[in-house]
Amino acid sequence: MKKIGVFTSGGDSPGMNAAIRAVVRTCAYHNIESYGIYEGYEGLINGEIRKIGARGVSNIIQRGGTILKSSRSEAFRTVEGRKKAFENIQKFGLDGIVAIGGDGTFTGAAIFNKEYNIPFVGIPGTIDNDLFGTDFTIGYDTAINTVVEAVDKIRDTATSHNRLFIVEVMGKDAGFIALRSGIAVGAEAILIPETRTYINQLIEKLEGNRNGRKTSMIVIVAEGDELGGAYEVAQKVKKQCPQYDSRVTVLGHIQRGGSPSAMDRVLASTMGNAAVDALLNGKNNIMIGVVNKEVAYTPFEKAIKHHDKLNMNLVNLAEILAS
């Protein structure tokens, strides 16, 4: 390995810059040239590839987003697009690539690897924390801390006015953000895609809390819950309980931004270093993870297909503590 490329793809997550920094500086340590590929697979196709030295990643570990930019490439889904990407890899003489992203990123890498046999190693950068093969993905810890900070402030207003707040967090297919942040803020109910939600049970729980003289109530809703997002849930609650003074807050993309937490910085640094080491040791078509504090390697196909499952003990804990 003489030259290694690195890119970020899909949705951004806090800690991606820390991972880029670790890849570049590990390459420098081993006297390997590192190249930044801008805007993910689009950059591979368009030849947006530039050499980055160790000093080129100074002062980025604390920054959110990604200095390499990100995109979702429709062109890379085509045979013609992937052929262009391969031609640019040859042009720049890249011997291997570190791809930072989620399941879409790894799906593309797996297909490309089968067609052109270019070594790819993935780093899981997604706030959803739903990839199999790692305890935590880069950005997840920061995202839930962002939610907790926001909902703590919302709780102040809810208590001051005896209000019900229905707060929507990210999670189209997975409830990891909703579950952990919901427990952390003491939510009265947590609605997630993995468990069935019955509006009557939610009303019963809220009524029980109200009769127990709770001065405020918080409901955390993952955007992919079967009842719908926060606005849909609020309409259903209002229909049955018009006496509630309720408000809706959709936290949206603030969950993706901001300076990464210490945990995400260390996790990203560990994974970035491990990704370069994996390429140097001939590993290919795998995702780097950290499981039980040890670096783990999971084939792309397995990481994509076997999405991580919710800890049902946390689901039960949420039920008990909300009573």
Active site residue 264: no
Q: Which residues in 26-56 are b (16+ Cβ under 10 Å) and which e?
A: bbbeeebbbbbbbbbbbbbbbbbbeebeeeb
Q: For 124, which DSSP code?
A: E
Catalytic residue among 103, 128, 225, 264: 128
Q: Is 59 exposed, middle or buried (0-12, 13-18, 19+ CB in 10 A)?
A: exposed
CA distance 21 to 8: 12
Query: Collapsing DSSP states into helix, strand and coil, what is residue 6?
Result: strand
Query: Collapsing DSSP states into helix, strand and coil, what is residue 78?
Result: coil
Give backbone dihedrals phi and psi of 65, rounded to 5 degrees, phi first. 70, -150
Q: Provide the annotated active-site residues.
A: 128
